[in-house]
A and B are shown apart, each in its own frame.
Chain A
Amino acid sequence: MAVLKTENICVSFQGKNVLKNINISFPEGKITAILGPNGCGKSTLLKVMAGFHRDYAGNVFLDDKSLRGISAKHIARRMAVLPQTVSVPADLNVHQLVAYGRFPYRSFFKKTQKEDQKIIEWAMAETGVESLADRQLNSLSGGERQRAWIAMALCQQPEILLLDEPTTYLDIAHQLEIMQIIKMLNKHNNMTVIMVLHDINHARIYADNTVIIKDQEVFAEGDPHKVLSVALLAEVFKVKAQVFQNKENSAEQIIFPVGLAK
């Protein structure tokens, strides 16, 4: 079943098409990776689905209801979104940030309830940031900071998690750490994850489904092991790639770009 669906999404900016006729169904409880070259429109697509960008033609359906007819608060209780880079006040600490995830459940006169506190603690435990609760966000390493943001998103108790390049600026170990947290959230909480990625092998290893965007349109979609082929990389990214066998796991192949296609 599709929990989030786009229907003929078109976006243009200053007379130039940014997205053309995007029709995608995102399967419930699965991880979908969106890939494509720089400037293909994938980040805009994420912004449209997140409700950030509202100047578009077509429709986004959340549980078969058009996003245009749903309040921001209601969306926030179903779907959490993490944009790429966010600047925060210098003295904001991790606990405060994570607690903001309860914002969609607050009303004017309600203070932080015991239940909220429990959810905040649960979210920090899931992402392993409990020991960082009093640290200022800006003093953390990139990986720790990203985990704190994911904890905030978890506090929204979403069924869908939208992430824009969650591993950008992270070293390889922290990239894997974030991918594993995302996989764990998907498995344990049946969370639907939709994320923009750049790493082909992350998509192959961690995603159940992939959407390739090229020149503002959907170029291919489906099982990442089938879709992300040497031929596709040549056509979409203009790179020459080779397939390597993971010696520890015979079922797993690694695709490595060895050079630019001629």
Chain B
Amino acid sequence: MKDIHNKDMERASSKQKIFILAGLLILLIISVGVALAQGAVYISPQEIQGALTGNTGANSQIIMNIRLPRTILTVLVGINLATAGAILQAVMKNPLADPHIIGISSGAGIAGIFIMIVLPQFSFLITPAAFVGAMLAALCIYILAWKNGIKPLRIILAGVAVSSFIGAGISALLILYSDRVNGALMWMVGGFAARSWIHVQLILPYTVFGVFFVLLFTRHLNVLLLGDEIARGLGMNVEKTRIILTAAAALLAASAVSVAGLLGFVGLIVPHTARLIIGSDYRFMLPASVLLGGSVVTLSDTVARCAFAPIELPVGIFMAILGVPFFLFLLRREL
């Protein structure tokens, strides 16, 4: 009798979690709807539907050429950053690991900014360069933090050090080339102004491939949460898994940075919120982070566009305003 009871309990809680995931999917759809409707001109759901099914007209033009690519982009960037954060938190065994805080985004950022202002004729190289920068930053963090294994505290300290170091490099670039910093400055705070279908094309393959790939590793991530020794004892090649997953996270973060700039805190707040809602089991937590990441960035960007219209706040500033209090809340709660 007891066995049956236990299995029912297990199933019930899994079912509950699937309901939560369905709820998050609905939230994402609503966020996309709101983002498409709101802006300088309000566009009704009927008009949006018309535009999507091939109607022409002024509002359809706005939808198809401006709001739809921008909204898709916010969803993809949110997914990438949240997924990268969720992975890094398990792989680096640190609740504060977020691509922005530990310097992976800065690595992508300095490579991107370097190309943007020193070698603008090679701007098609921004994404691969950002990726290389992100990977190099991740590698530096590991080398600095490695001493008979990875300790969570050393990771975060090494990350902050790498992040500050790269930050100094970025500042130096901006000062040396102060005549060309205009685009780079906007890129530093992160934002989606004037983004179009080209950018969607740029990031889409990384999101699709990256998310599908890391979803295969949810069991590995769960086992990694138990620590290196248990993971090794259960037959995992811990170093290899860690390198593969860090590479995947760096790829996701780098592609997001290359289209949206240095957008902070998404990778931190979204996985933690997902964990609070659905628990720490990565089989559910990772998909929840994906859905929530897309929603949070899309809604934030909509608010950033509309709150002080016609002035548009870069969403990065808005995310920081939202992210810092949440970060402090986490510090008080977990440490």
Contact = CB atoms under 8 A, between A and B. Distances in A.
Nearest to A97: B226
Interface residues on B, range: 20 to 34
Interface string B199-222: 000000000000000001001001
Given A91-B279, A133-B10, A100 B235 contact: no
A84 B256 CA distance: 41
B236 interface: yes
B3 A103 contact: no
Interface in A75-117: 75-77, 80-83, 86-92, 95-96, 100-101, 103-104, 106, 108
23 contacts: A50-B229, A51-B232, A51-B233, A52-B229, A73-B237, A76-B235, A86-B229, A86-B230, A87-B227, A89-B225, A91-B279, A91-B280, A91-B281, A92-B280, A96-B222, A103-B223, A104-B234, A130-B6, A133-B9, A134-B9, A134-B10, A156-B234, A156-B235
B332 interface: no
A95 B158 CA distance: 36
Contact of A103 (B234, B279, B281): B234
A215 interface: no
Contacts of A96: 222, 281
A89 B234 contact: no
Interface of B is mostly: helix
Interface residues of A, number: 36
Contacts, number: 82
Contacts of B235: 71-77, 103-104, 156
Given A83-B230, A86-B230, A133-B6, A72 B236 contact: yes
A75 B227 CA distance: 18
A7 interface: no
A131 B5 CA distance: 9
Contacts of A71: 235, 237
Nearest to B149: A52
Given A76-B233, A91-B280, A100 B222 contact: yes
Given A86-B226, A90-B280, A95 B6 contact: yes
A51 B233 CA distance: 8
Contacts of A100: 222-223, 226, 230, 234
Contacts of B227: 83, 86-87
B219 A81 contact: no
Contact of A81 (B233, B237, B279): B233
Contacts of B9: 133-134
Contacts of A50: 229, 232-233
